[in-house]
Amino acid sequence: MGLSHSPTADRQRLDDIVRSVNRLRPLPGSPVRILKELDNPTTSVRKIAELIALDQAITAYLLKVANSAAMGYSRECSSVQDAVIRLGFKQVRSLVYSTMASGPLSARLSGYRLGAQGLWFHSVSVASSAHWLATALRYPEPEKAYIAGLLHDIGKLVLDQYVLADYNKIMQIIHTENQPMWKVEHHLFGVDHAEVGGFAGEHWQFPQELIAAIRYHHSPEQDQPNQQLAALVNLANALAPSDSDEDLFLVGKVITPATYEILNLNPEKTPKLAERLKASLTNYQSRFEIT
Sign of CA dihedral 107, 196, 213, 136: positive
Least CB distance from residue 137 to Fe ion, whole Å?
A: 19
CB contact at 8 A, 211 and 198 = yes
Among 90-98, 127-135, 168-176, 236-244, the segment contacting Fe ion (CB under 5 A) = 236-244
Q: 226 vs 237, which CB is nearer to Fe ion? A: 237
Query: How many residues sit in the footprint of Fe ion (CB under 5 A)?
Result: 2
Q: Which of residues 144-163 bind Fe ion (CB under 5 A)?
A: 153
Across-strand partners of 114? 109
Q: 99 vs 234, which CB is nearer to Fe ion? A: 234
Out of 102, 237, 256, 259, the residue judged to bind Fe ion by CB under 5 A: 237
Q: 55 vs 153, which CB is nearer to Fe ion? A: 153
Q: Which of residues 88-127 bind Fe ion (CB under 5 A)?
A: none
Rounded to whole angstroms, the Cα distance separating 271 from 251 reads: 19
Least CB distance from residue 116 to Fe ion, whole Å?
A: 17
Q: 143 vs 195, which CB is nearer to Fe ion? A: 195
| HEC secondary structure over 176-240 | HHCCCHHHHHHHHHCCCHHHHHHHHHHHCCCCHHHHHHHHCCCCCCCCCCCHHHHHHHHHHHHHC
Q: 35 vs 181, which CB is nearer to Fe ion? A: 181
Q: Rule CB under 5 A: say whether 129 interacts with Fe ion.
A: no
Least CB distance from residue 153 to Fe ion, whole Å?
A: 4
Listed residue (26, 31, 24) closest to 97, CA to CA: 31
Q: b/e string for 86-112 if b means 16 or more Cβ within 10 A?
A: bbeeebbbbbbbbbbbbebbebebebb
* DSSP secondary structure code for residue 274 in this structure: H
Q: 153 vs 195, which CB is nearer to Fe ion? A: 153
Least CB distance from residue 123 to Fe ion, whole Å?
A: 8
| Positions in the binding site for Fe ion (CB under 5 A) | 153, 237
